């Protein structure tokens, strides 16, 4: 069973003789659409006809595949139409093998129309099909125009001398073809065989082929350099975008850090400078009640609790010679109460009207 994840990184996939139909090619179609490394795809010996156009649509937009093997399948005229449309768009496939299918003159004519436009195919295998003289003539017309093709296999078809002649004429116009094999399995006659041998032995043809090979290599090198330049530019653009995103993230982190520092400073200021008076007044009252002092115990002489002066007892009871002393003590106690530093024992002394340290106490 084909699994996409297991094949996505493959450079060559061989699924020959698996009895596959067009409906079984969903994973292969997805690979043609998404793979960045697939270069060879072998699908020979199956039951594929290409008529639904799904496979060929994916092939049209593929930019990695170099070799496609579809030999010994069930490709007829409708399938050739779909394949030809794909080859008019695809400009990276270099070799296609279509031997042992059901390609007739009509299919060959359709295929020849694609070769007029395609500028990447170098090797074509049409062996063991049903191509006759009309199909050979159509292929000859495309050979005159196409300067990329180098090898064409037309063995074991239905071509006679009348179909071989236009092919020979085209070879004399096209010096890039290194091999055009049609002697085996065709009835082209002895004269045509001699003519083909003469064409391929011509030293001028060899020189032309060498020149074309050098030109082709230069073109491929230029194309590769252009591709590298494009990738370099794209890489620089992505780096710039990543750097911009990094700056935004750093700015957000800096702002977040400033907010945290501000919150810490505000918290420290609160700890050092004091507290909310209303809030801490409630806390103070709770603390005083906890040590046994009621709200009514903390009043001024007029009964108003806003002054914070303690009316412990009638100050007229104090001795005259201690008047100044006790007045100062009352003021100190008032300050202590206001500062929430009063202790439970001091509250008890206040309630009893006695003050002093240790065993020295005075009754007011």
Angle (nearest 5°) at CA 56 between 55 and 62: 95
Secondary structure percentages of the chain, helix, strand, coil, to 5 = 55, 10, 35
H helix or E strand, kind and range, residue 356? strand 354-357
pLDDT at 269: 55
Per-residue tokens: 206: 């060899």
CA 49 from chain centre, in angstroms, equals 35
Q: Which residues are CB-contacts of 261 (< 8 A; sequence separation ≥ 6)?
A: none
pLDDT at 117: 96
Contact 171, 180 (CB under 8 A): yes
In angstroms, the CA 206 to CA 360 distance is: 132
Can you give the pTM of this predicted structure?
A: 0.60
Per-residue tokens: 76: 């007829």
pLDDT at 268: 59
Three-state SS for 241?
A: helix
In angstroms, the CA 244 to CA 237 distance is: 11
DSSP state of 353: T
pLDDT at 238: 86
Q: Which residue has the tokens 């695809």?
A: 90
- Give the residue from 23, 62, 57 showing the smallest Cα distance to 41: 62
Per-residue tokens: 356: 């002093």
Q: What is the pLDDT along the chain (364 residues), one digit of tens a residue?
A: 578 888 999 999 999 999 999 999 999 999 999 999 999 999 999 999 999 999 999 999 999 999 999 999 999 999 999 999 999 999 999 999 999 999 999 999 999 999 999 999 999 999 999 999 999 999 999 999 998 999 999 999 999 999 999 999 999 999 889 999 998 999 999 999 999 999 988 887 777 667 666 766 776 777 777 778 788 888 888 888 888 888 888 887 777 776 666 666 666 555 544 445 555 555 455 544 544 444 444 444 444 444 444 444 444 444 444 455 555 555 555 555 555 545 556 555 555 555 444 444 444 4
Angle of helix 77-89 relative to helix 105-115, nearest 10 degrees, comes to 0
In angstroms, the CA 146 to CA 144 distance is: 6
Beta strands in 94-147 (DSSP E): 95-97, 123-125
Q: How many helices and strands, by DSSP H and E, does the chain display? A: 12, 9
In angstroms, the first-to-last Cα distance of the chain is: 105
- Give the residue from 103, 88, 37, 46 showing the smallest Cα distance to 69: 46
In angstroms, the CA 109 to CA 97 distance is: 17
Three-state SS for 195?
A: helix
């Amino acid at each position: 069973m084909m699994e996409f994840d297991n094949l996505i990184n493959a450079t060559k996939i061989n699924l020959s003789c698996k009895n596959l139909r067009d409906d079984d090619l969903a994973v292969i179609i997805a690979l043609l659409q998404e793979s960045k490394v697939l270069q060879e795809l072998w699908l020979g010996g199956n039951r594929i006809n290409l008529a639904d156009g799904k496979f060929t649509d994916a092939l049209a937009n593929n930019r990695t595949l170099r070799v496609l093997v579809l030999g010994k399948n069930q490709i007829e005229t409708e399938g050739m139409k779909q394949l030809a449309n794909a080859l008019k768009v695809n400009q990276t496939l270099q070799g296609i093998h279509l031997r042992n299918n059901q390609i007739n003159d009509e299919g060959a004519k359709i295929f020849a129309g694609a070769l007029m436009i395609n500028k990447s195919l170098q090797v074509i295998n049409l062996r063991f099909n049903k191509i006759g003289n009309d199909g050979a003539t159509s292929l000859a017309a495309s050979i005159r125009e196409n300067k990329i093709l180098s090898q064409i296999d037309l063995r074991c078809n239905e071509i006679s001398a009348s179909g071989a002649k236009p092919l020979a004429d085209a070879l004399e116009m096209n010096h890039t073809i290194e091999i055009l094999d049609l002697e085996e399995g065709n009835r082209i006659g002895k004269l045509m065989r001699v003519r083909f041998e003469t064409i391929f032995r011509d030293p001028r043809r060899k020189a032309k082929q060498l020149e074309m090979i050098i030109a082709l290599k230069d073109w491929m090198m230029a194309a590769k350099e252009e591709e590298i330049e494009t990738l370099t530019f794209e890489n620089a653009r992505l780096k710039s975008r990543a750097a911009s995103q990094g700056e935004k993230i750093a700015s957000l982190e800096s702002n977040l850090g400033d907010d945290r520092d501000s919150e810490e400073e505000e918290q420290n200021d609160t700890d050092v400078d004091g507290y909310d008076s209303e809030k801490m007044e409630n806390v103070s009252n709770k603390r005083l009640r906890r040590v046994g002092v009621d709200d009514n115990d903390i009043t001024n002489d007029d009964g108003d609790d806003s002054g914070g002066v303690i009316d412990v007892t009638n100050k007229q009871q104090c001795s005259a010679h201690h008047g100044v002393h006790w007045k100062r003590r009352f003021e100190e106690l008032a300050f202590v109460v206001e500062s929430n530093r009063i202790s439970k024992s001091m509250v008890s002394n206040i309630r009893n009207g006695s003050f002093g340290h240790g065993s020295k106490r005075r009754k007011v």
